[in-house]
Each structure stands twice: as C-alpha cells, then as structure tokens.
Structure 1
Amino acid sequence: MMEQEARACLARGDLAGAVAAARRLTEVEPNRPEGYFLLGMAAAQAGHAAKAIPLIQAAVARGRQAEHLAQLARLLVLVRREDEAAVAAREALAASPRDPLTLDTIGCVLVRLGDHQGALAPFSAAVEGEPANLEFRYNLAAACGFTGDVARARAQYEAILARDPGNGRVHYALAILSRQAAGDHHVPRLEAALAGATRPDDALRIRYALAKELEDLGDTAGSLRHLTRANEAQKALLGYDFAQDAAIFDAIEALFGAGGARLAGGEAGGEGRRGEGRRGEAPIFVVGMPRTGTTLVDRILSSHPEVEAAGELQAMPLAVRQLAAPHLAGPPSRRVIDPETVAASAAIVPGDLGDAYLARARVHRSHGKPRFTDKLPANFLYVGHILRALPDARVVCLRRHPMDTLWSNYKNLFASQSAYYAYSYDLMDTARYYARFDRLVALWERLWPERVLQLSYEALVRDQEGQTQALLAHCGLEWDAACLSFHENRAAVATPSAAQVRRPMNADGVGKWRAHEAALAPARAWLQAQGIAVA
C-alpha cells in the first residue's frame, strides 16, 4: 500500500507525499529495496541526482532489481560517471526486464555510452511492450538511423507522425535521414505542419527540415528563407554574443602562448619530466569545425584493423573541468568550458589529466583494439591540454574551404542548447568563430608541428588514396586498403553525416556555398579582410 501510494504521488508530481510514503516504507520494512528506490526517485525528480544516487544504491544493495539498476545507470550517466553507469545498465539488461520504461531507460543509457547497436534490442522490446508510447518509438527510430537501418527508422518516424503530425523533432529527423528527390519529399506536409505549429521548438525544427529538403530539391532561395527565420529566432532565444566565445579563445591563447610559462609541469610543447604526461596510450583525436569531414576521417581511421571509433567523447572537456575546479577562485559555472576554467587549468599536472581522460574514455571502448579515435570536433579547443597530457596521441584537424565551412555550420541544427555551437545561428558570428579557430590551430601547429596534421577535406576528395596514406602515416599506422572502403564500415554514426559516410568518396559537398554567394558576401568580405583566403 505504501509503495503504491509513493508511486502514485510521484506520477502526479506530489514529491512531498512520495517522500513521506517512501520514508514510512523504509521504517516499516528496512530490508526491502522499494522504499529507498522511491526516495531516490523523488530526489531525482526534484533535480537532485547526487542525492538520489546513494538512495538508489541502497535499494540495489537490497535486491538488484532491473528497474532499480536501470534508473541508477540513468542517474550515473547524468553525473558523468559513465563507467559505473555501463556496469549498472548491462546488469539491468541481463536481468531480462519486461517493463517497457525500464527497457527504454536501459536503451537510453547505452546510447549515451555510444552503444547504439546494443540499444536496439531494449528499444525494440520497449516499443513492443507499449506501442502507443511515441517517445519509445522515437528512441528506436533514432537508433535505427544511427546504425544504418534507414527503412526501419523511416517506418518508426512515420508511425509517430501518424499520431502527432506536428512533431518537429520527427520531421527534422526524417529530413536528414536521406537525400530528398523530386517526387519523393515531404515539402507540402512540412509546410502544413509549420502553419499549424504552436510550440517554438517545433517551428524551429520544421523550418530546418524545410530548408534541408528544399536545398536537396534545388530551391536555394526557399531554403535560405527558412534558415534565416529559424536561426534568427534561435540566436535571440539563446541570447548569444560572440564575446562569450572570444573570451574563451583569449584565455586559451593566454595560457599556451608565449611558451606557456604558467603551465604546471613545464612549458607548452616542452619535455620536462612532470610535463611529459601519460605515455603508452596513443589515441587519435579528430578535431575541427563541425561539418568539415570529421566523421568521414573517423570512418576512414576506424576501418583500420587496429583502430576503433569511441565516438564524440566529452572525456577531455570533463577531465579538464574536473581537475581545474579545485583551482578556481570561485564556484564553477554550469558551462563545460569558460575563461575561468581555462585559466585554472594551468595548475593541472599533465599526467593526472592523461589518467583522468583515459579513465573516462575507457567505458566507450569495447573492441579491444590497440588504438581508438575520439571525434569530438570541439576538442580543437583542448589540443594543448591533449598533447601535454598524452604525449603519444596524434591530432588530425580537418580543414574545409572557409565558405563551405560557414555555410555548412549555418544550415545544420546542432544540439540546440549546446554552448559549443551557439555561434552557428548567425553568418557573421560563424565567420568570427572561424577566424579564431584558424588562429588557434596555427598556434597548435607552431607548438607541436609533428603531432598536429591539418588535413584538407578538398584534398582528401581529390586524392583519396594519397591523403589516406599521409593520414595513416601521421597516426603511426601501417597502410591498409580497408581504409579506402570506409563506406562499408557498419559501425553506428550518430551525427548529421550518417547518410553521407555510407556512400563512397565523392565531391558533392565541395563548393556548395556558391549557391548562396550573395547571402554569404558580407561574411566572405570580412574573412578576406582578416587575411583568410576565400577564393
């Protein structure tokens, strides 16, 4: 009775009632897990994950139930304890749960850990158990798309739209699932959905979907019109000012420029004993502006028999934040990176950072191969930290024509609340960001000329074999012809490039900006004035 009362209170948002009932349950039956679990769920629902975890751990200690393990895994992921989350999620799955919510929760945890293939089974079972739950269907559809099962993903998305025709998230997912063609597109349906949209988030995604499909169909004016409306609204919503990112670039350059004299353990690029970092591991960091070929290069590298793709890891940003926190003058901000954290990171001992990074990355490695890639594009901000912490690591920085880079960033909807991509909703902000990226990469190459390879996307398209040979040599890998057949790599892809990288090398993305040359003219002129070649 008390358990049912606590669950009912949680369902209607009565947290005080849930806590009271759950607490009585722990007092009456202290050896049963349910009271502790429900106390933990009440804390989690109140937004206190750190308080919820020990309560649910107490429940797990009293009877390792799949529901409890799954929720524990979910909370551990939220607080970035991925290694523990992986253990809990897999134990929950091994318990053969039948509850659809528990199955979906396990799938979501596996997705957060990068195991999209492993998430398919629990997501499928969740949909089978509760077919009317549209959130469960969306999660299954997304996992199918990431793993290359486009037909199944499309069927799940269409099933959602049959019940929720205005779902902007689904409309956008369908638009980017494949290239649209005359006679096989969704433009009329999207226009109707936009006309009926009542939530700004739906309107944003529907406009992005329209922009993508119209560009596929050759309607560049219509595509730009929807992009402009969507991006203006999103920039206003975020309250973004380029000064926020400029301050981060300034802090990084201040830390590593002029020899990096403030750094713990020696100078930037130096070989002092305390500055050597963690030797032995040689991860490959694929970095650059988004949408410049990072996914393509990651697929090439992970087609090599000695390399596995670990995904877009937050491991380095989180390790830097964690180790810099004790050296901050005040409390840490909620952002992963800010000028204060960059400045405080001067005190981090490189070897400690290497260990912290590898501990976080370990959970994303599952194939036992000697090398792995970390494909978080924004790691270009952390190259200095990476190469001091991991002296055997290699960095591959993708470079694409500046105007194609600007256009591709502007037209793609990234994680809409992520501070990493807030610049991308304005063409001039994107140009300013590109200029600072260009300047920072030049600093990294000056400091570590043998360890940073700037790889041209256009050169890779023109000379696939020659550039692939140079790429593998830079990474210390023997030649393997499988790297030329990257499109046959069956590993999951959780980026907007999923469809493109399953096709052989092609030049379709080269020069796309020219269709919007007039709109891009002010940004182009500004970049030229900064001395950046944009011909």
Structure 2
Amino acid sequence: MSLIAAQNYLNQGNLQAAHRETMRIIQGNPHDLEALRVLLAIALKSRNSLKIAQILNQINRLDPSQASLFDEALAWHQIQLPQWAITALKQLNPERITRAKLSSSAANLATQYDQHSLGLALTKRTVVLTPNNANAHFELGRSLVFSGDFEAGQQSLIASLNIQPAHPLALQLLATLPKAYWPQDLLQQIDNAIAEASQLGDLKRLHEGRYRVLEDKGAYTQAFSAIETANNLHREQLGSRLTDPSEKLSSILTTFDQLTVTTHTSPSEATPIFIVGLPRSGTTLLEQILSGQDEIQALGELPQLPGIVERAIQHAKANEYVVNSSLVAKHYLEQTAPLRTNSHYFVDKMPLNYQLIGFIARALPSAKIIHIRRDPMDVCFAQYRQIFADSAHAMDYSYSLEHLASYHQSFSQLMNQWEQRFPNRIFDIAYEQLVTAPKTSLASLSQYLGIELAAECLDLRLNERAVSTASAGQIREPIGGQHLGRWRHYEAAMMPHLAKLLRD
C-alpha cells in the first residue's frame, strides 16, 4: 500500500512525502526493486546526480540485466547528462535483449546520440524478436538508410509494407530515397494509403511523400497542393502552439545583453567546429565534407550546448546575471568527451546554435564558427517541403510560408548583429558556391580552419559516416547544383507569401 501512496505523492509533485513512503518499504526490504525504481524517479525529479548514481548502482547489483542498463542510460538522458547516458548505452549487448520494446527504445536513444552502429544492431535485434511487426522492419529500414545502405534499407521498408501496405512512415521514407529505389507503383501505394488513413499524423506524412513523387514527375501544381496539404495538416496538429517565431529570435540579443557573459581565455584540449545556419541550408553537406578529413570528427547535431547555456542563463538570473563562461566551456567539453576519439577537431552541427553564437564566442575562444547561407527563397522552400519530426518544436515556424518569411528576416538580423559584435569569429560560406565551385570553397575552408582539406573530402561516396537528418536520402549524391532554384517550380503559389524576401 505504501508504494501506491508513494507513487501518488510523486504524481502530485510531493517529493518529500513520496520519499518518506518509499523509504519505509526499502528499510523493511532493501532488495525491493519496484521501490528502488520509485526512489530513482524521485531522485530524477530533484536532479540529484549523486543520489541517482547510488540508486542505479543498487538496482544494477540486484538486477544486472539489459533492461537495467537501458534504464540507467535513460535516467542520465532525462537529466541531460549525455556522457553518462552514452557510457551506459555502450554496455548494452543487443544479442542478450529478449524484449522488442526494449531493443527498439534503446535503438532510438542510441541514434539520438549518433551511436549509429549500436542503433543498427539494436534495430536488427528488434526484427529478430518480432519478425511480423511492420514497425520493426521500418525502424531497421530507417537505420540502414541513415547508414547509407539504400538497397538494404529499401528491402526492409518493402518488408514493412508487405505486412502493413499503408504504413505511412515507410512510404514517406521510400519517397525520400533516390528514385532508383522507388517501387514502380509508389504513387499508387501512397494514394491508397491516403484513402485509408484517418489520423492527421499519418496523412501529413503521406502527402509529403506524394509531393516528392509528383515533383519528380514534373506535376508541379499537384505537387505543391500535396505539400501544402501536408503543412496544413501539421499546423492543425500544432493548434495553439503555433505562434509567430520572430518574437523568440528578437529576444535572444535582449537576453544576452542583460547578462554579463565573462570571457574565457584558457586553451581547450579540443577545437569544436560549429556549423550554424537555417535547417536545410546545407549544414549536413558541409559537415559531411569536413568529416572526410582524418583530423576532423563529425558528431552530428549535438544537444549539449543549448542545454548547458539554458542552465547557465537560469543560474545567472539568480546570481547577479553573471554567466561564467569557463564553466560553460568545461561542461561542454566534458559532455562531448565520450563522443570524441583522438581527433583534435570535432564538428557540432546543430544548426540552431546560431542563436548561441555570443556564448560560443565568449566561452570557447579557439572554436571555429562556420555560418552557411543559402538563397532565401530556396532555403525557405527547402524547409516548407520537409515535414520534420513531431518532437522538433523548434521547426514549428516552417509549416507556414508567412512564418518562414518572418523567421528568415529575424534570423538574418540576428546573424548580422553577431557578426558586428564578434568580428572575425564567424566564417561565412554560401551554399551556392559550395555546390557549384566546391574546390574554391574547400580552399577557403582550409585557410579558415588551418587544415589542408584533401580533395577527396568532396567525393561523398567515399564517406561511410551515418547521417540521421532529413538529408540522409540525398547526402550520398555527387556535389552539384541540382537542388538550386527548386522553389521556382512553385513561384506563382509562393510569391504572395514570400515576395518580401526578394525585396530585402
């Protein structure tokens, strides 16, 4: 009865009462795993790292299972301590996992931390455990696509559709692959699935896939109608959460100016290379080029810095508005250390880190900041044509052409302010030059980074690194200008909404 009472107190947010009830049970039976797990939940609520570690050690001694290892990784993930989450994940042995739900959840978490080899092994295990589950085959297909194995990925996606012909995510992902991997009747399969679907989430994915196939056929009027439908469906899902995004961007400098952000001057044991810019501006392409150099390790879209800066800001507001940049640097380098190998340079390709450039400049004086710009109309449409993950709240603005235009203007103003305040810290590169004159771009990047980038970096076929962003289906293509000016196919429909971008 006490455990039920403890859980009720926990649900009500009464941590003291929940702790009291739980400890009564543990004092009577120190081996009660359920009580220890409730105690862990209480410690997680209070973010007490030492207490969390102690409870996890007790649980692992009593239950040294794969499930306990994953619970440990999840606990550290929940309180934003990725270095410990990754350490726990790396201890998992997929072959010893006996529950598909566990292997699937662990695979998703591993992928979030750019542990793609482990994620792939876990998704394969999920298929072994549930061979007749369409979602299991889809997850394996997605992992294979991220890894660049499009042929095997296609086979897994087809296997998913053989079990569930209207699987929306499998059909959507197939449509993002190069056309050579499309089933001949892909458009018909998508149309059939749309006729059956009733959930907004499923419909928006299917209409995005439909857009891609229709665009390939040159049916641009129908294609725009499909992607507009997908965006409208997502906006309907967002409901009241959808607000003008420019307000947040305009508040970034205000917040920065309210703070005293100290300048950290000590050298770092590693040099981060931050690639910033709007999503779909070419950040993944640039990251893939740089990762082709042996001295540079690409770590994907790292969540560490935004969390560290947010906590530093909250702490500063309670402590005379002073941000200790040396602590920001210390925490960032500590939290990225488990991901880094022996490479001195590492790439952090979180595009939205452009919002944190002031903190980067002050905390990490040796860091390189590369800002990739893309034609306003192209980059706005590139975002509009992509239905992002439901968890990507930062992209809520991208489902409205008007909000896209407003956001782009605010983004440009913020970048201009950062460049004025921190001259010579930000290296600008144009996406258009990167894809049409890649050798010239490579030379200028070499000069800025102080590394002689090899010409082989431009041959993306040689790069076997996994990519888990929306660019996964096209990042293996030869570098070229094939994606420039795509918006012009839809100029008549877009101009009423985005014309001000051309005037600015």
Match of residue 275 from structure 2: 286
Match of residue 133 from structure 2: 133
Query: Normalised by the size of structure 2, how large is the TM-score?
Result: 0.87
Letter in 1 for 2:334: A
C-alpha change, 1:298 and 1:58, in structure 2 (3 Å) is: same
1:460 aligns with 2:431: no
Match for residue 348 of structure 1 among 323, 327, 334? 323
Match of residue 263 from structure 1: 260
Match of residue 306 from structure 2: 317
Distance (Å, rounded) in 2 between the aligned partners of 1:187 and 1:227:
14
Match of residue 347 from structure 2: 373
Letter in 2 for 1:300: I
Distance (Å, rounded) in 2 between the aligned partners of 1:505 and 1:382:
30
1:219 aligns with 2:216: no
Tell me, what secondary structure is at the counterpart of 1:501?
coil
Match of residue 522 from structure 1: 496
Tell me, what secondary structure is at the counterpart of 1:283?
strand
Q: Is the 8 A contact 2:276 2:372 kept in 1?
A: yes
C-alpha change, 1:63 and 1:29, in structure 2 (3 Å) is: same
Distance (Å, rounded) in 1 between the aligned partners of 2:433 and 2:90:
43
Match for residue 473 of structure 2 among 499, 502, 509? 499
Match for residue 385 of structure 1 among 327, 348, 359? 359
Query: Normalised by the size of structure 1, how large is the TM-score?
Result: 0.82
Distance (Å, rounded) in 2 between the aligned partners of 1:243 and 1:40:
39
Tell me, what secondary structure is at the counterpart of 1:502?
coil
C-alpha change, 1:94 and 1:200, in structure 2 (3 Å) is: closer
What is the percentage of aligned positions where both structures have the same residue?
26
Q: Is the 8 A contact 1:89 1:110 kept in 2?
A: yes
C-alpha change, 1:425 and 1:99, in structure 2 (3 Å) is: closer
Q: Is the 8 A contact 1:397 1:452 kept in 2?
A: yes
Q: Is the 8 A contact 1:277 1:354 kept in 2?
A: no
Match of residue 111 from structure 2: 111
Shift of 1:56: 4.8
Match of residue 445 from structure 1: 419
C-alpha change, 1:63 and 1:521, in structure 2 (3 Å) is: closer
Q: Is the 8 A contact 2:94 2:103 kept in 1?
A: no
Match of residue 428 from structure 1: 402
Match of residue 253 from structure 2: 253
Match of residue 69 from structure 1: 69
Shift of 1:138: 2.8
1:403 aligns with 2:392: no
C-alpha change, 1:50 and 1:215, in structure 2 (3 Å) is: farther
Distance (Å, rounded) in 1 between the aligned partners of 2:126 and 2:258:
55
Shift of 1:384: 1.2
C-alpha change, 1:349 and 1:496, in structure 2 (3 Å) is: same
Match of residue 190 from structure 1: 190
Distance (Å, rounded) in 2 between the aligned partners of 1:74 and 1:297:
31
Give deviations 1:78-125, integer Å, cap 9, x for gaps.
Answer: 332211112222223289444444433432332121111222222212
C-alpha change, 1:248 and 1:346, in structure 2 (3 Å) is: farther
Shift of 1:491: 0.4
Q: Is the 8 A contact 1:445 1:452 kept in 2?
A: yes
Distance (Å, rounded) in 2 between the aligned partners of 1:238 and 1:196:
23
Higher mean alpha-carbon deviation, 59-68 vs 100-109, is at 100-109
C-alpha change, 1:302 and 1:253, in structure 2 (3 Å) is: same
Tell me, what secondary structure is at the counterpart of 2:343?
coil
Q: Is the 8 A contact 1:323 1:348 kept in 2?
A: yes
Letter in 2 for 1:484: L
Tell me, what secondary structure is at the counterpart of 2:275?
strand
Q: Is the 8 A contact 1:240 1:423 kept in 2?
A: no
Distance (Å, rounded) in 2 between the aligned partners of 1:393 and 1:23:
47
Distance (Å, rounded) in 2 between the aligned partners of 1:372 and 1:275:
20
Q: Is the 8 A contact 2:402 2:498 kept in 1?
A: no
Distance (Å, rounded) in 2 between the aligned partners of 1:182 and 1:487:
20
Figure out how many residues of one structure are paired with residues of the other and give that number: 484
Q: What 5-or-longer segments of structure 2 have no aligned partner?
A: 5-21
Distance (Å, rounded) in 2 between the aligned partners of 1:380 and 1:419:
16
Match of residue 200 from structure 2: 200
Distance (Å, rounded) in 1 between the aligned partners of 2:59 and 2:315:
32
Tell me, what secondary structure is at the counterpart of 1:500?
coil
Match of residue 333 from structure 1: none
Letter in 2 for 1:496: A
Give deviations 1:338-365, integer Å, cap 9, x for gaps.
Answer: xxxxxx9963111111112222222332
Shift of 1:525: 2.3
Shift of 1:178: 2.6
Distance (Å, rounded) in 2 between the aligned partners of 1:49 and 1:164:
43
Give deviations 1:359-379, integer Å, cap 9, x for gaps.
Answer: 2222332x3211100111111
1:11-26 equivalent positions in 2, closer than 5 A:
none
Distance (Å, rounded) in 2 between the aligned partners of 1:430 and 1:165:
34
C-alpha change, 1:145 and 1:513, in structure 2 (3 Å) is: same
Higher mean alpha-carbon deviation, 235-244 vs 503-512, is at 235-244
1:300 aligns with 2:275: no
C-alpha change, 1:153 and 1:64, in structure 2 (3 Å) is: same
Higher mean alpha-carbon deviation, 102-111 vs 367-376, is at 102-111
Distance (Å, rounded) in 2 between the aligned partners of 1:153 and 1:24:
52
Distance (Å, rounded) in 2 between the aligned partners of 1:156 and 1:420:
31
Distance (Å, rounded) in 1 between the aligned partners of 2:39 and 2:140:
27
Tell me, what secondary structure is at the counterpart of 1:284?
strand
Q: Is the 8 A contact 1:313 1:375 kept in 2?
A: yes
Higher mean alpha-carbon deviation, 384-393 vs 59-68, is at 59-68
Match of residue 337 from structure 1: none
Distance (Å, rounded) in 1 between the aligned partners of 2:47 and 2:166:
36
C-alpha change, 1:238 and 1:518, in structure 2 (3 Å) is: same
Shift of 1:299: 0.7
Alignment root-mean-square deviation, CA: 3.2
Letter in 2 for 1:320: V
Match of residue 335 from structure 1: none
Shift of 1:200: 1.1
Letter in 2 for 1:226: A
1:168 aligns with 2:165: no
Give deviations 1:30-50, integer Å, cap 9, x for gaps.
Answer: 347x44566579x59xx9796
Match of residue 276 from structure 1: 265
Tell me, what secondary structure is at the counterpart of 1:363?
helix
Tell me, what secondary structure is at the counterpart of 1:429?
helix
Tell me, what secondary structure is at the counterpart of 1:92?
coil
Give deviations 1:228-271, integer Å, cap 9, x for gaps.
Answer: 12212322332468865222222223355xxx584232xxxxxx
Q: What 5-or-longer segments of structure 1 have no aligned partner?
A: 1-5, 7-21, 266-273, 330-343
